[in-house]
Every structure is written in C-alpha cells, then in structure tokens.
Amino acid sequence: MTPRDCPKYDGCSAPICPLDRDWHRRAVDTGDPVCAYLRETAKPNIAAAYAGRYDEPVLLAAFRLREELERHPHPRYVYIGKQIEASAGTPNLIEQAERIAARFAAARDRKKGARGVVQRDCGMDTAGPATQTPPEAA
C-alpha cells in the first residue's frame, strides 16, 4: 500500500504516513498534524472496532509504525509519540462519525418538525403546516 491508498489521503497533511515506506526520511515539527490512524492506535479495543472495515489495513500499518517508533526512539519523532498518547482518552473516529450522524439526524428531525412535516404510516413524508386541515367539501 502507498499513502494514496489511505481513505484520508486527499485531506491529510501529516508529514509521517504509516503507508509511506520512506517515513524515516521525513521531518516532523512541533505543531505538525499527526496521522489520524496513528492517533487511533492509543485507543482501547481499537483493533476490534476496525476489524473487517475498509480501512483496517491502514490501522494495522499505523500499529506497525507506532511499534517502530517506540522500538527506535528518535528525538525527531518525540512529538508524534506525545500526540498519540494525548489522543488515548478521545473518542475513536468511528464513534465520532456516529455521534455526528446522530446530531445531523436530530437536527433534520427538528427541522422537519418546525416545518410541520408529518410522517405517515405509508413511510412517506408530507410537507405542510402541522395544523393544516384538509379543505372542506363544497
């Protein structure tokens, strides 16, 4: 795999990528972004959460890179280790996505309620004020 195979590649600006065979040639400055998958490696039960997912190989590569960084510490990469450990207490990316989806769903439902959208038994939504009554027969 190469960095381009990472699902987050297009939006990532981390200088160290677990999928980069030449990661050891890259420099890291304090304040540089750290790979999201590297940060995931510090979270409990993360391997089980990613099991069978499309991005599991990226997480496994991140675990290998983290082990390499711990086995051969270099002052250049101390910042990465600190960022990985700091992320241990934060929700993993999967949980974050689920929370965001739940917030969007709740906001969508509130917006529907404000517009008077009524869900009928047929499974279709009908727009209109909640107090709207059908016109009386003439």
List pLDDT tens digits, range 94-119: 899 999 999 999 998 888 776 665 55
Does 123 have pLDDT greater than 80?
Answer: no
Which tokens hold the place of 40?
Answer: 């995931």
CA distance 114 to 129: 9
In the prediction, which pLDDT does 111 show? 82
Whether the pTM exceeds 0.85: the reply is no
Instruction: Tell me if 19 sits within 8 A of 56, measured CB to CB.
Output: no
Which tokens hold the place of 115?
Answer: 């517009």
Widest CA span in the chain: 86
